[in-house]
Amino acid sequence: MRTEANSLSQKVRDLLQTPAVRRWGLYLLKAFALLAVLLVLSRFAPAMPTPVIALFWFGLSAIASLNFAYCAVIRKTLKRQKYREGGRLHRFNEGRKLWIFLGFVVSAACMAGLLLELPKWDAAEWGFVVAAVPLYLAVLLVARWRLRREYEPTFLPAGVIRWTGVITCILLCAAYAVFIALEPVSPFISAREVFDAVRLPFDESPSMLVSEAGMLVSLVDGVTMLWVSEAAVTYFLAYLIWRIVLVAATFFSITNLLGVCALQLPEIKRIFMPLERIGEDDVPRHMKASHLAWFAAFPLAFFLLFVGIDAVYSDAMKDSELTYAEQFVRDQENIIVYVVDHGPLSHNEAAQLVDEAKQRIADLTAKTAQQLSDLSE
């Protein structure tokens, strides 16, 4: 019995040491660590000070941008085959700054939307996100098996990551469509009830800019809920499509992060190395300090810019009864509630509301300009 137990234990150890098990075990470890970070943010992001939430925002953005940058480097590697060394196009193709910057900006926009939505997720959303981890791995393994006959080894990982992200996102959207189709819809009695039901998790955020963004998102959520509650009864297909479109952005952000988790360290290093020619896999190459510096500089610059603007804006708004976003959202909600709950406005009523809104905006603009002028002095 002891001999059999030792033999079984040795087989398990040998299995755990195989490259495939180690690679995909590491993927699962990174993916669930990522979910743990998102869970923490969903609980504590609304109360985080400006530097802390900015650190999470731009840190996640930098991580997510690795996927964009890696795919860009693979495209550059393919284009390198047609450019002669020393030429202008060759030198331009060797650069990284533009794609690192664009990848970071796109990632920052995706992560901003994700951070603003996290506190509003319920059990269903979390269920889909948790299921995305093994689903992504299953799709990746199938895609790798099918595409190895189509791609050269240099370009295989990027092709697998790209197709896996697309297919996983489509499968998640399809599953979500089935869930929405089976979910009962509770119609709202009035537009006022809709806006009162909108959640405002960042209403008391220490970051003024985050709070303002949360207010604007609440307006979009209210309008969406109002339209969806009507469309679910009369135009169910349009309602279904719109719900899928809204959640697709979240699934895209999640699958992009999972793509980074699936990348191995040598693949990530390629982002910062000189481009290779096909057949030069054995030529030693090293990461360039300039590429690493640019990759670190963009998150740092955005972090400092965000914290600085937030401090200035918070100081400018400290004596205001309502901020720009609060006033704008309140005006729009009042107009929508009046139109939906009380019928269309007459010409005079509409003109009066527009004039009042313009006057309030002018007063706030003048007050803010004066406060900024006082600060500069």
Residue 325 lies in a domain: no
Burial tier of 280 (Cβ tally within 10 Å: 0-12, 13-18, 19+): exposed
The whole-number pLDDT of residue 60 equals 93
Please count the CA atoms within 13 angstroms of the CA of 286 that sit on its side-chain side.
3
Structural domain span for residue 32: 22-318
Residue 376 lies in a domain: no
Question: Is the separation of the CB atoms in 255 and 248 below 8 Å?
Answer: no
Cα 179 to its chain centre, rounded Å, is 23
Residue 305 lies in a domain: yes
The tally of domains found in the chain comes to 1
Which of 251, 223, 254, 248 shows the shortest CA–CA distance to 333?
A: 223
The whole-number pLDDT of residue 287 equals 79
The whole-number pLDDT of residue 301 equals 93
For residue 254, which phi and psi values (nearest 5 degrees)?
-65, -45
Residue whose entry in the numeric block shows the structure tokens 């896999």 = 281
Question: Is the separation of the CB atoms in 262 and 140 below 8 Å?
Answer: yes
pLDDT tens-digit profile, the chain (377 residues): 555 555 545 544 544 456 667 888 899 999 999 999 999 999 999 899 999 999 999 999 999 999 988 988 888 887 777 777 777 777 777 777 888 889 899 999 989 988 988 888 888 889 999 999 999 999 999 999 988 888 888 888 888 999 999 999 999 999 988 887 777 666 666 677 777 777 778 888 888 888 888 888 888 887 777 776 666 556 667 777 777 887 888 899 999 999 999 988 888 888 888 776 655 555 566 778 888 888 999 999 999 999 999 988 888 877 777 777 777 878 777 777 766 666 555 556 666 666 766 676 676 666 666 665 665 55
The whole-number pLDDT of residue 15 equals 45
Name the DSSP class of 183.
S
Alpha-helical regions (H) of 17-153: 19-44, 50-80, 88-94, 97-117, 123-147
Residue 330 lies in a domain: no
Q: CB within 8 A of 311, min separation 6: which ones? A: 50
Residue 336 lies in a domain: no
Query: Contacts from 336-342 at CB under 8 Å and sequence distance 24+?
Result: 336/191, 336/195, 336/222, 336/223, 336/226, 337/190, 337/191, 337/192, 337/195, 340/190, 340/191, 340/226, 341/190, 341/191, 341/192
For residue 343, which phi and psi values (nearest 5 degrees)?
95, 175
pTM for this one? 0.80
Q: Which residues of 349-364 are buried (b: 16+ CB within 10 A; e: fewer)?
A: eeeeeeeebeebeeeb
Residue 372 lies in a domain: no
Burial tier of 183 (Cβ tally within 10 Å: 0-12, 13-18, 19+): exposed
Residue 352 lies in a domain: no
Residue 236 lies in a domain: yes
Gap between the Cα atoms of 298 and 326, Å rounded: 31
